[in-house]
Amino acid sequence: MSAPHVIQAGNPVLHVLGARPNFVKAAPVIRALDGRVQQVVVHTGQHYDERMSEIFFRELSLPEPDVNLGVGSGGHAAQTAALLTGLADEFTRRSPALVIVYGDVNSTIAAALAAAKLHIPVAHVEAGLRSFDMTMPEEVNRRLTDQLADLCLVTSPEAIGHLAAEGVSPDRAHLVGNPMIDTLLANLDAFDTARARATHGLPERYVLATLHRPANVDDPDTAAALVGHLHGVADLADVVIPVHPRGRATLLAAGLADHPAVHVLEPLGYIDFVAAVRGAAAVVTDSGGLQEETTILGVPCLTVRPNTERPITITHGTNRLVSFEDLVPEARKALEAGPHDERRRPPLWDGQAGPRIADIIMEFLGD
């Protein structure tokens, strides 16, 4: 058995952030820990486009990263190897008391594995989510990270059961709520739909789409089929789609922009993006976080996937899983039904997840 990590006075808490959803989840945690413990922020550079990362630091008032590893894009093996090497060097140099990881990207599993090898405790924010689809890289990352984590910080009740089924000790799992929703609620006044319409030339009534999952956009034939059904949605209402770097070339080659009612945008910053979501008549997505944000904003969401790791959005009634073939008829229903009641929220999605997480971390560290 490996020797335990020794926590000494003055050892920092180190946050590892790699992609834009990580920044949104980390902001309330960093804010709640401010003044209680020394903090270090490591940006791995997994998302390196200015609109995909740097603008988020500005808009969320996150501290400038203490280091940016600049790993960039690449295949899963090459990217994860670069992350492991860079993060292990940082952990060795800084000797953190705790490494905090977020979500399910490659930076998450790389940080958890590097920390575990160095006997450094790990806290996983957004633990226990499961799609039960091991073809998704994110599912592999989630499962392995939770096995390595000393603190599993859980956003929704069903995740507690998933962790228990996988042998995670109950004293490691804590239901804290959703820090992504903390950020959303803290910025509600900034999500100005009229300004977003004017800035980006959005139509008065539109469906907002985001699509980047490998299963949807990597294969040209699959992407072409998806584009055909999106054009069917565009026959019902204008479709606004900020195109993620992943899949951009494939989707455009499939004719995404050929329909006159499809508006292709560059990736948006957090404030403009959520403002556009807030003003949408419906959302079509394969993103995990957007399923949660639409639940709070009351916008009908159609998730183009066979499964979701966020089933609470389904049972809450704001999200539906749809196949390509179901997309147009379900979009028609959503447009006819209109918005949901945004006053109904899942348990602990109340804007206070960050302080709850901070309290658990400080107790773990012995205050």
pLDDT at 3: 44
Instruction: For the chain, give the percent of residues with pLDDT over 70.
Output: 95
Q: Return the CATH number of the domain spanning residue range 13-178+349-364.
A: 3.40.50.2000
Model confidence at 33, pLDDT cuts 50, 70, 90, reads very high
Question: 303: which strand partners?
Answer: 285, 321
Over residues 191-245, the pLDDT tens digits come to 999 999 999 999 999 999 999 999 999 999 999 999 999 999 999 999 999 998 8
CATH 3.40.50.2000 fits 192-337, yes or no: yes
- Per-residue model confidence (pLDDT) at position 20: 87
Res 9: pLDDT: 54
- Find out whether 46 and 83 touch, Cβ atoms under 8 Å: yes
Does the pLDDT value for residue 56 go beyond 80? no
Q: What angle do CA 142, 148, 149 make, to 5 degrees?
A: 85
Which string of DSSP letters, residue by residue, matches 282-328?
A: EEEE--HHHHHHHHHHT--EEE-SS--S-THHHHTTSEEE--TTTHH
- Measured between alpha carbons, how far is 295 from 297 in angstroms, rounded to an integer? 6
Average confidence score pLDDT of the chain = 93
Q: Is the pLDDT of residue 82 over 80?
A: yes
Does residue 124 carry a catalytic annotation? no
pLDDT at 64: 87
- Which pLDDT belongs to residue 258? 97
Q: Can you read off the two tokens belonging to residue 3?
A: 């020797």
Q: What's the pLDDT score for residue 367?
A: 55
Q: Which of 287, 300, 297, 303 is nearest to 335 (CA)?
A: 300
Q: What is the pLDDT confidence band of residue 330, given thresholds at 50, 70 and 90?
A: very high
DSSP 155-210: SSHHHHHHHHHTT--GGGEEE---HHHHHHHHTGGG--HHHHHHHHT--SSEEEEE
More confident residue, 313 or 51: 313
> Which DSSP state fits 21?
H
* pLDDT-wise least confident of 45-59, 191-205, 302-316: 45-59
Q: Looking at the predicted structure, is the pLDDT value of residue 166 above 90?
A: yes
What is residue 75's predicted lDDT score, i.e. its pLDDT?
82
pLDDT at 182 over 70: yes
Residue 49 confidence (pLDDT) above 80: no
Q: What digits encode the pLDDT tens for the residues 117-147?
A: 999 999 999 999 999 999 999 999 999 999 9
Q: Give the residue range(s) of CATH 3.40.50.2000 domains in the chain.
A: 13-178+349-364, 192-337
Assess whether pLDDT exceeds 90 at residue 38: yes
The DSSP result for 33-55, as a single string, is HTTTS-EEEEE--SS-STTTTHH
For 256-286, write each residue's pLDDT tens digit.
999 999 999 999 999 999 999 999 999 999 9
Cα angle: 286, vertex 155, 140; to 5 degrees: 55
- pLDDT for the residue numbered 52: 54
**Rg, the chain, Cα only:** 20
Which of the following is catalytic: 124, 174, 212, 340? 212
Name the pLDDT band for 2 (thresholds 50, 70, 90).
very low
346-367 pLDDT tens trace: 999 999 999 999 999 999 999 5
Judged by DSSP in three states, 251 sits in helix
Residue type, 335: L
Rounded distance between C-alpha atoms, residue 298 and residue 287, angstroms = 17
